[in-house]
Amino acid sequence: MAKEKPGLQLPEEINSILATDCGSTTTKAILIEKVGDEYRLIVRGEAPTTVEAPFEDVTMGARNAIREVEELTGRKLLNEQGIITPRQKDGSGVDIYMSTSSAGGGLQMMVAGVVKTMTAESATRAALGAGAIVMDVIAVDDGRKPHEKINRIRNLRPDMILLSGGVDGGTITHVAQIAELIAAAEPKPRLGTGFKLPVIFAGNKDARVHVRNVLGEKTDLRIVDNLRPVLEKEVLGPAREEIHNLFMEHVMAQAPGYNKLMQWTPVPIMPTPGAVGLAMQTAAKEYNTSVIGVDIGGATTDVFSVFGEYFNRTVSANLGMSYSICNVLLEAGIKNIMRWIPFAIDEADLRNRIRNKMIRPTTIPQTLDELVIEQAIAREALRLAFIHHKSLAVGLKGIKIERTIADTFEQTGTGQTYINMMELGMLIGSGGVLSHAPRRVQAAMMLLDAFQPEGMTMLAVDSIFMMPQLGILSTIHPKAAMQVFDRDCLIKLGTSISPKGPSGAAKPGDPCVTVKIKRGTGEEVHQVPFGAIKRVPLGVDEKVKAEIHPSRQFDVGKGNGHTVETELQGGVVGVLIDCRGRPLELPQNDRERRAKLLEWFKSVDMYPEEALAKYARVG
């Protein structure tokens, strides 16, 4: 008989929290405790994930990671049944345990709708926001013939399908067509060969009877409220909730060991990217600013953005630094990767190096040349993932999004309207290539080059990638999640000042911006010309008042030539005054381009000086 699940406690009773994230390769455990008035990260442990053969039990990896926490704290947290909760008088146990998961490939979905840029796009937003990888989007007008769509549905084997289409009370013909296509395909789920594929119908309520007739027998059909009840309204909450339910009931229940893991915690297990999204939203709220976050992994790159009430998430399933690194090469092209390298390199050699990284993904750069190459590839992966994010325009908050009629005719561009780089307050990078860059300024430069923020933006990296655990924690204890996020999770790199422009024909060397920084009673003046970048030291907890005067072809937030008075916050890098232009353009001529890169790298102290001198001599 299953052990009774631990009960959910109220936030004020929680002083000690254990959270794990079961990733595809590593399971990470963190212990958070109340120290004085604050919640802080105490220790972390990690161990290989054990979803795959020969172990096939996720709890083994979770136990191993937690055992590391036990060893580091000298406290007993595990017993035969699972986690000891609540915390005992003898100091053993924790008040609550929770977990996120992306093991076994995460949540893989297919979405379908009637019009690609309308209901299918809304369905995509719902799926992505719930933390899924969207394998394909099927729509009546997607340009494929019915048999091509059927073949695609048959071959993909998703974990579930989200079907939308039609406004309530409208015609049911088109959504019925899509339902019939799905029925004809007789799709099978990825996990559990004997099970029916879950299909969520979130379309025209008048079509429910027909959809049930067509799909009721062949699939595990769930019906929820229409995600586009009228053209101007998007209601993603019910569909997203059902995705989470099915993730728990079907995907997690089929994955090895999850039934046991689910018994350990009163909080439903959440898909890792969904939890990271929650952490980003909590951060945006707490810092009262717009946030873009990126997590670049070996296989995929997730981009999150929170602008006002709009939360967007996209996942570029094939952009990553190891498993998918060749896809970065394929999509960006070798020239775009080479443009960030300040020395001459044979194209064929570079291609072979990238392929060899793909087949031996756990290796690390040993030479500086290799590091520079890896960071060049990362810039392109990040840049492409951000373009993808902007183009998908994923407005994903589970509340009603009101749009004007004018907006409804511009569906493909909806996301772009949310992302305003000048308004962006914080840019957070995560993933090995950013979090583990030997010099923090390297991470800052990768973020600047790939995202090209405008105006004043705080740059940060996630120290040890604990955002998934903090995201799920924020669902029951936002205060604890935020305190740990601010003090232990984020490493603030510093503020970038990036004037937008030039609006005219400014030449490199022309005046771009003058930054006056007031320190104590003194004032520093930094004049940076167009085409240059300057690094000004300012410590992590330091804040200074500054006047920023852009020249007339440049804008730092109040229009061309208008001064902005603001407070600048420091970081481990300091303040970066980036006058390289927005958009940032590199010289076409190879020799000039390499010289320019070396000038920038030297100016911000990005790599060891002697190496840059060597590149300059050889280049």
Q: Closest approach of Cβ 483 to another protein, in Å? A: 29
Cβ burial of 94 (10 Å; 0-12, 13-18, 19+) is buried
Distance CA 561, CA 499 (A): 10
* Cis preceding linkage at 583, omega within 30: yes
Q: Is 618 in the site for another protein (CB under 8 A)?
A: no
Q: Indicate the residue type of 342.
A: P
Euclidean distance between CA atoms 429 and 375, whole angstroms: 13
Nearer to another protein, 369 or 510 (CB): 369
Q: Does 74 bind another protein (CB under 8 A)?
A: no
φ and ψ at residue 576, rounded to 5 degrees = -110, 115
Contacts with another protein in 458-487 (CB under 8 A)? none
CB of 7 to another protein, least distance (A): 33
Q: Can you give 148-181 as a three-state secondary structure string?
A: HHHHHHHHHCCCEEEECCCCCCCCCHHHHHHHHH
Smallest separation, CB 358 to another protein (Å): 5
Handedness of CA 602, 605, 606, 609 (dihedral sign): positive
> Is 596 strand, coil or helix?
helix
What is the bridge-based pairing of β-strands 575-578 and 490-498? parallel
| b/e per residue 469-490 (b: at least 16 CB within 10 A) | bbbbbbebbbebbbbbbeebbb
List binders of another protein among 163-202 (CB under 8 A): 172-173, 176-177, 180-181, 183-186, 188, 193-194
Q: Does 335 sit near another protein (CB under 8 A)? A: no
CB nearer to another protein: give 463 or 527.
Answer: 463
* 230 belongs to the binding site for another protein (CB under 8 A): no
CB 158 within 8 A of CB 187: yes
Segment contacting another protein by CB under 8 A, of 109-117, 253-261, 328-336, 402-410:
328-336
Task: Work out the angle between the directed axes of helices 347-359 and 368-392 (0-180°, nearest 10).
Answer: 80
Under the criterion CB under 8 A, does residue 49 sit at the interface with another protein? yes
Neighbours of 237 (CB within 10 A): 17
Is 471 in a helix, a strand, or coil? helix
Q: How far apart are CA 489 and CA 40, in angstroms?
A: 10
Query: Is 429 within 8 Å of 571 (Cβ atoms)?
Result: no
Residue 435's H or E segment, with its range, is helix 432-435
Length of the chain: 619
| Pattern 279-298, another protein, x by CB under 8 A | -------------------x
Question: What's the closest the beta carbon of residue 184 comes to another protein, in angstroms?
Answer: 4
CB 336 within 8 A of CB 380: yes
Assess 25 for contact with another protein (CB under 8 A). yes
Judged by DSSP in three states, 512 sits in strand
The SS3 assignment for 273 reads helix
Binding residue for another protein (CB under 8 A) from 363, 391, 420, 589? Answer: 363
Those residues whose C-beta lies under 8 Å from the C-beta of residue 505, and which sit 6 or more positions away, are none
CA distance 213 to 163: 15
CB 398, min distance to another protein, A:
30
The residue (of 288 and 367) whose beta carbon lies closer to another protein is: 367
Between β-strands 132-139 and 107-113, what pairing exists: parallel, antiparallel or unpaired?
parallel
Nearer of residues 19 and 185 to another protein, judged by Cβ: 185
Among 361, 529, 561, 587, binds another protein (CB under 8 A): 361
* Window 239-278: contact mask with another protein (x via CB under 8 A): ----------------------------------------
Counting contacts by CB under 8 A, is residue 142 touching another protein? no
- Is 351 an interacting residue with respect to another protein (CB under 8 A)? yes
Asked whether position 370 contacts another protein by CB under 8 A, the answer is yes
Q: Smallest distance, Å, CB 51 to another protein?
A: 7
Residues ≥6 apart with Cβ < 8 Å to 204: 165, 166, 167, 168, 169, 170, 171, 172, 175, 226
Can residue 327 be called a binding residue for another protein (CB under 8 A)? yes
Q: Which residues pair with 22 in a beta bridge?
A: 27, 101
Among 369, 410, 542, 547, binds another protein (CB under 8 A): 369
* By CB under 8 A, residue 353 contacts another protein: yes
Shortest distance in whole angstroms from residue 301 CB to another protein: 13
The minimum distance between CB 350 and another protein, in angstroms, equals 10
- Using the contact rule CB under 8 A, the part of the chain among 249-257, 326-334, 462-470, 586-594 near another protein is 326-334
Phi/psi at 229 (5° precision): -60, -35
The answer to whether residues 187 and 197 touch, using CB atoms and an 8 Å cutoff, is yes
- Answer yes or no whether residue 318 interacts with another protein by CB under 8 A: yes
Identify which of 129, 139, 144, 182 has the alpha carbon closest to the alpha carbon of residue 160. 182
Q: Which is nearer to another protein, 223 or 235 (CB)?
A: 223
Q: Is 151 in the site for another protein (CB under 8 A)?
A: yes
The 486-525 site mask, x for binding another protein (CB under 8 A), equals ----------------------------------------
Using the contact rule CB under 8 A, the part of the chain among 11-19, 77-85, 93-101, 327-335 near another protein is: 327-335
Closest distance to another protein from the beta carbon of 182 (Å): 11
322 binds another protein (CB under 8 A): yes
Contact residue for another protein among 2, 12, 74, 367 (CB under 8 A): 367
Binding of residue 146 to another protein (CB under 8 A): yes
Interface residues with another protein (CB under 8 A) are 24-25, 49, 51-53, 103-104, 146-147, 150-151, 172-173, 176-177, 180-181, 183-186, 188, 193-194, 210, 214, 298-299, 318, 322-324, 326-327, 329-331, 348-349, 351-353, 355-356, 358-371, 436, 438-439, 608
